[in-house]
Amino acid sequence: MRTLCIHADYMEFEVKKPTPMAEQISEGERTGRAEEVLVVFTAVEKQDEGKVVAVARQAALDIKDTAEKVGAARILLYPYAHLSSELSDPETGKEMLKAIEALLKQMSLEVKRAPFGWYKAFRISCKGHPLSELSRQIVGEEEKPQVGGEEKYLVLTPEGKEISPDDFSGGTECFKVMVEKEAMKKEGQLTGEPRYHRLCRKFGIQWEPMSDVGHMAFNPVGALIFDLVADYSSKVVGDLGIPVYTIKGTNMFSLDEAPVREHAKLFGDRLYVIEGEKKDFVMRYAACHQQFAMMRNWNISYRNLPYGAFEVADSYRLEQSGETMLCFRTRRMNMPDLHVICPDLEGAKDWFERLDSRIYEEAAGLGRDYEMLVNFSSKQAYEDNKDMLLHLLRAHDKPALLHFYPEGINYYWTVNIEYHILDDTKRAREIGTVQIDIGNAERFGITFADETGRKVYPIILHTAIIGTIERYLYMLFDTAVQAEAKGSVGSLPVWVAPEQVRILTVADSHLERAREIASRIERAGIRVGVDDRSETVGKKVRDAKQDWVSYVIVIGDKELATDALTIYDRKINKNVEMELSAFSQKVRDEIGDKPFRPFYMPT
């Protein structure tokens, strides 16, 4: 960073026109005048990127020292790009000047800052004494966060008791397994192939061997299931009762952009980094970057809040190759990422509870239940959110495992809940999530105008209500194999079953009637296939059951002249007698308002 300090009798400026990187300003900020002032012309440089805290601290101390030496009554920070040919990105420049301004105010100095990114006219009267003109080059070394203590775990009961995990003996089997895994770091090794892998093969879901480790491929059957779940994730968000803005964006962002770089540092080391011609890029690991990049340019009023921003975003995390799991832990995932933008913390807590309720509701819809691992960025974050958390625990009538991160790291979030199921292998698996974000609105420059027109940073909630698309598939398949283990016939919910109805012919003479019935069922908004192969009826029935078709209808001589049909119902594993119109209505009722897509291959 380069500075030029001029001790002046006065300086006055007037804003003329914005550049593309101009910050938003009010009418009162378009002009300024200061007397008996130390004017600090500043240019933030490329080498300052990623070191804002350290450089700003050193610059503030230097400016304070200079002001005291020359006896200046006040300070005017004035962005002046002409001091350097190696300027930083605009966001770093804005952040640096705001940080210096805040530090000088903390030192009880009177300070004013001229707008960043505007063409301005100015007049200055330099005093002309030996110390009236001083130039500096400031290079700060970024200090590593001072992390105090170690991570800690507690069990919190609905009654408000805090218990060491070693001393807690209650809770469900899932809760006990989660406590052992997270707090006690005890987890046995998997032996043999998980049973849900059989369903992945059945529905054409696999690793792609011609790609990087952890990347999946879906044949037409698997692709249909995937897209139905993605459609459902959008519907869930649309049913929340707030305006939702659905967007589409890119999957890579420049590390030269300060908000992206800082967010990436907080995320950790599981990042895909792409080396470009002139700059490096990070593959997004959630939908945050694209949504935030758009929202910072939106004109938002307090009347618009709360609202949601949503994208089913392809996201990338460099998971260890030995830990990848089909549908559960992948390097490329698809995140139905919703951000709820709230005006204040109280509003955020209210929506946090609503999202928590919906997350549990979605699990219950599949016959599952969750246990909560609640992460806190600090002890203070726990104290600030304890009442809300206890309200959740009492609503669910169950304890939660609390995880406290080491103190001293400036995380952008305060509280994050991970929702776990107990899978077929007796392991706790995270599916849904919700967290409170207090930092990214400022980092990305997202503001709304309050009742007075003042720009305010909102509170942002992050949530994936049904988890990633892949993890929802994991829960679907795990639910099915656990039902099989208890003696039931494995099945998928009718809305997501790739083939909802299959019609089988006894002979070629029945094919025309089979196609007629298929057409009538299809017109009702039901996926139907016709097995017209020259195979025995017994083999066709076995194949339909093997393919997990929800309903199977055999068309023979008896069915040529009547709508009375014998239908195999997979869910109850028996045949039922129904009229065609009544059957179509029954299937439509089961699908309900869930998404529908036609076959991804010929009928």
pLDDT of residue 176 exceeding 60: yes
Structure tokens at 102: 């805040």
Q: What is the pLDDT of residues 548-602, one digit of tens each?
A: 999 999 999 999 999 999 999 999 999 999 999 999 999 999 999 999 999 999 8
Rounded to whole angstroms, the Cα distance separating 241 from 210 reads 43
| Tens-place pLDDT, residues 410-448 | 788 999 999 999 999 999 999 999 999 999 999 899 999
Residue 417, H or E segment: strand 413-422
Can you say how many angstroms the Cα of residue 299 is from the centroid of all Cα atoms in its chain?
23
Calculate the dihedral angle through the C-alpha atoms of 393, 396, 402, 408, rounding to the nearest 10 degrees. Answer: -70
How far does the chain reach from its first CA to its final CA, in angstroms? Answer: 67
Note the pLDDT of residue 140. Answer: 62
pLDDT tens digits, 89-103: 899 999 999 999 999
The domain ranges of the chain are 2-137, 152-251+285-478, 494-591
What the block records as the tokens of 98 is: 């705001």
> For the segment 360-413, what is each residue's pLDDT rounded down to a tens digit?
999 999 999 999 999 999 999 999 999 999 999 999 999 999 999 988 777 889
Q: What is the CATH number of domain 494-591?
A: 3.40.50.800
* Confidence (pLDDT) at 242: 96
Domain with residues 152-251+285-478, CATH architecture: 2-Layer Sandwich (3.30)
Whether residue 144 has pLDDT greater than 60: no
Going by CATH, does the domain composed of 2-137 fall within 3.50.80.10? yes
Indicate if the pLDDT at residue 286 is higher than 90: no
pTM given for the model: 0.77
131, two tokens = 């110390």
- Region 156-161: mean pLDDT is 97
Average pLDDT over residues 227-235: 98
Element spanning 264, H or E: helix 258-267
